[in-house]
Amino acid sequence: MRRLIPLAITFVVGTVLIVSVFTPPLENIERTFTLFFDIIAVFAFFLGGGNLLRVHISKLRRRKQDWGFSVVTIVGFLGMLMIGLFKLGGSGNIAAPVDETGSLFYIIFDAVLVPLQSTMYSLLAFFVASASYRAFRAKNREATLLLIAAFVILLGRTPFGTMVSGWIPEWLSIAQIPNLAIWIMNSPNLAGQRAILIGIGLGVISMSLRLILGIERSYLGDDNA
Amino acid sequence: MPLTCPTASGGSRSIRNLKPLQFIVCALLVVGSLGQVNAQSDSTILFDSAMNALAPVTSLLAADHKYDNGERIDLSWIPSIDDQPVNGKITGYGVYRLTNAGNPALIADLPSGSSTFSDDNVEPGSDYSYYIVARSAYESAVSVRTAPLSPQREWLNLNRGFLFLIAALISAAVIYFVQSAKRGKKLFVRKISGLEAIDDAVGRATEMGRPVLFIPGIHDMDDVQTLAALTILGRVSRTIADYDTKIFMPVARSLVMTAARETIKASYQAAGRPDAYSDDMVSYVTDEQFGYVAAVDGLMVREKPATVFLLGSFFAESLILAETGNSVGAIQIAGTARPAQLPFFIAACDFTLIGEELFAASAYLAGEPRQLGSLKGQDVGKAVAMVVIVVGALAATLGEAWDISFMQNIYHWLSSVFSSN
Amino acid sequence: MSTRTKEILVVAIVAALFLIFYLRKVFGAPPVLFPGTVSILVVSVIGLSLLWILIRTLAGRYVERRVVFLYVGIAVTLPLFMTLSQKVSVAPEVQGVFSSFEKLSAGSKVLVSFDYDPPSAPELQPMAEACLYYCFEHDLKVIIMGLWPQGPMQANLALQKVLNDERISQKNLQYGVDYVNLGFQAGNEFVIQRMGSEFRSMFPADFRGTPYEEIPLVTNIRNFSNIDYSFNIGSGYPGTREWVQIAVDRYGLKLGAGNTAVQTTEMYPYLRAGQLAGIVGGMSGAAEFEFLTKWIGNATKFMLAQSVAHMIVISFVIIGNVAFFVGRRTRERKS
Amino acid sequence: MDHFALWLAAFFTLGIYSFLYKDNPWYKLCEAIFVGISAGYWVVTLFWDNFHGKFWVHKFEDWWLWIGAALGVLMLMRLFPKIGWISRWALAFIVGATSGLWMMNYFSSNIMRQVQDAVLPLFGTGFEASFGAILANIVVAVGTIAGLVYFFFSKEHKGVFGGTARVGILFLMVTFGASFGYTVMGRMSLLIGRIDFLFSDWLGLIR
């Protein structure tokens, strides 16, 4: 019974959504269910946020290594929570959006989160380089193609690409590196992307059916729990 | 007003009762009259625009939008002959509506040159009639008024008929093979190297006494890729429970945390070791993309996992995580259905599940006949897609290059079938 | 000395340096620029050290990834101090954007849409500045708007910089008369659609809250037909594609585009079809555009950094392959 | 920007970059701040946007929103071990909704749309296509088919079929290499933006 009801819920909800695609009077149900999801996610945050606090408080209590940083996390979390929920340090207008320009919430977002985000994002520049260094090696046929394609595109996007292949005559202009780069992007790349996309579509259909029909039920836990 | 159009008002008044054939005839009449307009306007336009009052729009038609929930009425008309690209007098059109024969209200302002409008602020059960005011800088001209019309609610969207048929075909194939596998038919499934490696990877973590790190992407449960990641987690955590390895699973969404705990707990129970399970295996970090990445990167260098799973929906963080994982010497098994991130996983991880393989993984790992049957069903979908592409491309090539009309028909039919979505 | 002491020492020295630099700035010292010879020297040193790494690799001693990181950092940082004048050859698509600007007479109205956010700013902000500079310098009237929430803020940053330039500040331009920022409007392509009939319906007031009809510059602007030229600076959706499909195709707006490098290839079809007057693509396009408009700004400065960083990545791909083949040879010899 | 904000931003920027050398207390501090503040930021945003904006404001006119809230409360039942199992109902709802919703979305955007785009005359209308375009069309068609063959699960990759599958892998590899090479330049400009902040806005060393 404990298992049957969830399976039934999944089946009914999934089926209704599939049918709604073909049934105009049901077309709003997608939006409704998305709203439900958003509301459930807020409730779930009690569990997530609670867990975050629990983990760091227990680190603090047991004086585990680096517990000092847990204090910082807890203070940051609770502080931001208070400022945002009670709209502290804003314009005083309770109806104003929480992130109105000039409010404390906005200032912290701007002065703390924005630099952290963009710096973390920019780490990619380093990792792109180290990954190219390590991965683009002509180990076998597949890796060689990976290397060649990446190399042509890389070269094609610098003035260097024009320099090294500028001598190629006009009638063979396709072999000039910038042109070759564009050709690779538009032809073999397009084919590969298309095959991947079609495959993904089929994979999703098959997995959704397994879930809706209750063939895949690992997420539901055990019968005796 | 030198122009009259045979369908102007009569057509619109009875449009609701038109049968399809009549509708076509009516539409042809409209098209025909358009030709007449042009033919006449050549000779009359100068005279008309110079001397006469502003011409209103003609052939105003109001029709229920087909296959919707009765929430839209489509209007179409022939623009005023004073609406010319060069030296035209029309500055714009105002669309007016009368609801249940009440007072007219302006519902839209359209630029010159427009000839259609969709009113999507209507309800079934009310009657609406429309007229259009063509405006110039100095004067305006009112068109005839359409007969009252109420939008219809349809229960089936026949525009999506082919979408339904093809979806039903593929679903039926999946279900058929699931059933036939259930009845004991042997199915072959090829090896997927990334999945073959899972046991070894977990075993390695056990031998080295280091934990397994499982990252289910950064999206919430409303992304199918996250669901795929959790179904794989179900199998992986079973192996982990059997081997008695440590698992860490930091997540970026509270719901994913809840679902993942449920999944791992079930695996431990199935392995007969429910007391070895702890909620601490899964922990929520933050919803913020890069905040999560910062924390996971830190966790990787501090805990030095022997095995890292990166399965689910990833964005820019894919490479940051995979490179850090690589730097601590972990075996990495990645998989995503976001084509833009696949190259980074291919470059930085030991095994990568490419798109479809991510969704097939849990079925493959389960090894259960019914699950494997669904994979065979997917292949039918691929076969259909391939056949359509080959036949379609051949027909298109023969038809368009050699001008064979039969082939052209096939080509256009296929195009129309697959554009029904 | 232990590693730890060394590390602390390095951090202390760097921190002290930063503090000195900062005080230097506070007391109004000018920026540092390497003279040409030093720049050439620096580039040669970087090149030679890469060669040295290659030789080490041939000898079987491989570099670790932190060395790669260091090189990326250097490759991006040092060029920012350099004055190497790269030969600027202007691509035809950039020239196309500029020629359309050149054809405008003083007083023409230019619509500039800022459809991007800070992550794309390194590539796009220079285009915005150059465009604004050219418009102000040639007495064109500028109407700014954004389909991205942070677009108009980027516009204000660009305005601030350009208006403070001495060539422009002496013109004493008036907000509301010579330029206006209408702000952000949500609704993506529908905003463009509605603007096709009436700007005011989408922008009842500018970003400061001044009602549309009280702004002298725009009172007489009804829709796209009153706009002489438009420049869209975009990094995705909504962006150039939507402007082309609606404003250009349906309302006949004349449009030039500024895009990130990643996005540019997707826009070439529109250029070939004549729907776009031109495209300024990525950092290199921005540098060319700066050259044409005589606003030497960040793109020219960043361009060198980007090229050098790119070359570093290419060099390390080559070094990586050398390492692989050397490694294979030694492995084969052993077996 | 005033001095404090500049130094704060510089402190965070350098703290994150220090991770490239190795894990250290500075990075840990940045990480702790990042996690704490961003988690708080998201709770607040979710609360105002989703709970307040989508539920609380409409709680009387749209009665059915209470179903969502009820499911949310079911989710919270996990806090009580005895009736924790009931939270699976909410989970079941989410799983059903996600799979039902995306099944059709992926079907129309990934399968119908892609197949439609793939059905094209290889030589153009009346042989008008250039040699390059014809070659490109054929490459795209062959590559798509070979790529799909690679994804076949229920047939062994042997013989002609296996050969085609291997061609498919090669196409996928070119795709991955090209996409990777394509993004390098954009990634570099992110870093340039940060470095410019450090040396121009903060230290004033460059213009």
Give residue-wise pLDDT tens across range C202-215. Answer: 898 888 888 998 99
Is the pLDDT higher at D200 or at A221?
D200
Give residue-wise pLDDT tens across range B235-272. Answer: 999 999 999 999 999 999 999 999 999 999 989 988 99
pLDDT band of residue B2 (cuts 50, 70, 90) is very low
Residue A101 has pLDDT above 80, yes or no: no
What is the token pair recorded at B320?
Answer: 């940051």
In A, which residues are within 8 Å of B377 by CB distance? 206
The complex scores an ipTM of 0.89
The partner residue sitting opposite B327, judged by closest CB among C65, C201, C251, is C65
pLDDT band of residue A88 (cuts 50, 70, 90) is confident
pLDDT at A42: 92
Residue A176 has pLDDT above 90, yes or no: no
C34 close to D (CB below 8 A): no
Strands of C139-193, DSSP E: 141-146, 179-184
Residue B82 has pLDDT above 90, yes or no: no
What is the token pair recorded at B119?
Answer: 């009113």
In D, which residues are within 8 Å of C72 by CB distance? 191
pLDDT at A222: 52
pLDDT at A27: 81
Listed in sequence order, the DSSP H helices in D49-130 are 65-76, 87-106, 113-118
Mean pLDDT of chain A: 87
Give residue-wise pLDDT tens across range C23-60. Answer: 999 998 898 888 888 988 998 999 999 999 999 999 88
pLDDT at B49: 44
Q: Do C223 and B111 touch (CB under 8 A)?
A: yes
Q: Do A157 and D185 touch (CB under 8 A)?
A: yes
pLDDT band of residue C84 (cuts 50, 70, 90) is low
pLDDT at B68: 84
Q: Do C197 and B327 touch (CB under 8 A)?
A: no
Q: Nearest residue on chain C to B324, judged by CA atoms?
A: C65
Average pLDDT over residues A188-207: 94
CA distance B221 to C111: 42
In C, which residues are within 8 Å of D179 by CB distance? none
Residue C89's Cβ-count burial label (10 Å; 0-12, 13-18, 19+) is exposed
pLDDT at B279: 92
Is the pLDDT higher at B24 or at B351?
B351
The partner residue sitting opposite D42, judged by closest CB among B287, B344, B379, is B287
Residue B35 has pLDDT above 60, yes or no: no
Average pLDDT over residues C273-279: 89
pLDDT at B116: 85
Helix then strand then coil, in percent of chain C rounded to 5, is 60, 10, 30
What is the token pair recorded at A224?
Answer: 């005796």
pLDDT at A92: 66
pLDDT at A14: 96
Q: Do C320 and A137 touch (CB under 8 A)?
A: yes
Residue D186 has pLDDT above 70, yes or no: yes
Bridge partners, B250 (sequence order): B283
pLDDT at D1: 54
Q: Which amino acid is at C199?
A: F
Place of tokens 């606090």: A53
Q: Do C80 and D191 touch (CB under 8 A)?
A: no
pTM equals: 0.86
Q: Do B170 and A205 touch (CB under 8 A)?
A: yes
Window B:257-316, CB contacts with A under 8 Å? 257-259, 262-263, 265-267, 269-270, 279-280, 283-286, 288-291, 293-294, 316
pLDDT band of residue B17 (cuts 50, 70, 90) is very low
pLDDT at D132: 78
pLDDT at C90: 83
Q: To the nearest whole angstrom, how far is the Cα of D169 from the nearest Cα of chain C? A: 22
CA atoms within 13 A on the CB side of D77: 17
Q: Which of C76, C321, C322 to mutate: most A Cβ within 10 Å?
A: C321
Place of tokens 């729009």: B57
Q: CA torsion angle for D178, D179, D180, D181 (degrees, to 10)?
A: 50
Q: To the nearest whole angstrom, how far is the Cα of A175 from the nearest Cα of chain B? A: 24
Q: Do B327 and C251 touch (CB under 8 A)?
A: no
Average pLDDT over residues B105-125: 84
Residue D7's Cβ-count burial label (10 Å; 0-12, 13-18, 19+) is middle
Query: What share of chain A in percent tops pLDDT 90?
Result: 55
pLDDT band of residue B6 (cuts 50, 70, 90) is very low
CA distance D24 to D18: 8
CA atoms within 13 A on the CB side of B266: 22
Average pLDDT over residues A102-125: 90
Window D:163-182, CB contacts with A under 8 Å? 168-182
Longest dimension (CA), chain A: 76
pLDDT at B187: 84
In A, which residues are within 8 Å of D55 by CB distance? 35, 39, 42
Residue C332 has pLDDT above 90, yes or no: no
CA distance C60 to C322: 9
pLDDT at A131: 94
Residue A59 has pLDDT above 70, yes or no: yes
Q: To the nearest whole angstrom, how far is the Cα of D177 from the nearest Cα of chain C? A: 12
Residue C176 near residue C215 (C-beta atoms within 8 A): yes
What is the token pair recorded at C24?
Answer: 């230097």
Residue B153 has pLDDT above 90, yes or no: no
Q: Which amino acid is at D175?
A: T
Neighbours of chain D (3+ CB pairs under 8 A): A, B, C
pLDDT at B421: 61
CA distance B371 to A210: 8
Is the pLDDT higher at C329 or at A174?
C329
Strands of B239-327, DSSP E: 247-251, 282-284, 307-313
pLDDT at B392: 94
In C, which residues are within 8 Å of D192 by CB distance? 76, 80, 122, 302, 305-306, 309
Residue A225 has pLDDT above 60, yes or no: no
- For chain C, count helices (H), then strands (E): 14, 6
Q: Which of A210, A212, A222 to mutate: most B Cβ within 10 Å?
A: A210
Distances (CA, A) of A55 to A52, A71, A80, B68, B259: 5, 11, 18, 51, 18
The partner residue sitting opposite A200, judged by closest CB among B283, B337, B362, is B337
Average pLDDT over residues C213-218: 91
CA distance D138 to D122: 6
pLDDT band of residue B14 (cuts 50, 70, 90) is very low
Q: How far apart are the first and last CA of chain C?
A: 41
Residue D130's Cβ-count burial label (10 Å; 0-12, 13-18, 19+) is exposed
Which are the contacts of D201, defined by CB distance < 8 A and separation ≥ 6? D1, D6
Q: Which stretch, A134-138, B137-141, C301-305, D184-188, has highest mean pLDDT? A: A134-138
Average pLDDT over residues B345-359: 94
Q: Do C76 and D191 touch (CB under 8 A)?
A: yes
Place of tokens 């593929």: B170
Distance from CA of residue C313 to its chain's centroid?
21
pLDDT at A221: 62
Residue D50 has pLDDT above 90, yes or no: no
Is the pLDDT higher at C246 or at B381?
B381
D33 close to A (CB below 8 A): yes
Q: Which has the closest alpha carbon to C99: C109, C111, C91, C88?
A: C91
Among the listed ranges A164-168, A176-180, B341-345, which one has the minimum average pLDDT value? A164-168
Long-range contacts of D92-95 (CB under 8 A, 24+ apart): D92/A5, D92/A6, D92/A7, D92/A9, D92/A10, D92/A13, D92/A220, D93/A9, D93/A10, D93/A13, D93/A36, D93/A40, D94/A37, D94/A40, D94/B221, D94/B222, D94/B255, D94/B259, D95/A10, D95/A211, D95/A219, D95/B221, D95/B227
Q: To the nearest whole angstrom, how far is the Cα of A63 from the nearest Cα of chain D? A: 16
Q: How many CB pairs below 8 Å do chains A and B form together?
A: 217
Is the pLDDT higher at B30 or at D113?
D113
Mean pLDDT of chain B: 85
Residue B306 has pLDDT above 50, yes or no: yes
CA distance B69 to B48: 43
Which are the contacts of A12, defined by CB distance < 8 A and separation ≥ 6? D96
Give residue-wise pLDDT tens across range B209-222. Answer: 999 999 999 999 99
Place of tokens 């749309």: D113
What is the token pair recorded at D171?
Answer: 């196409």
What is the token pair recorded at C291?
Answer: 């050259």
Say if strands C229-234 and B140-142 run parallel, antiparallel, or are unpaired.
Answer: unpaired
In A, which residues are within 8 Å of D183 by CB distance? 128
In C, which residues are within 8 Å of A155 by CB distance? 314
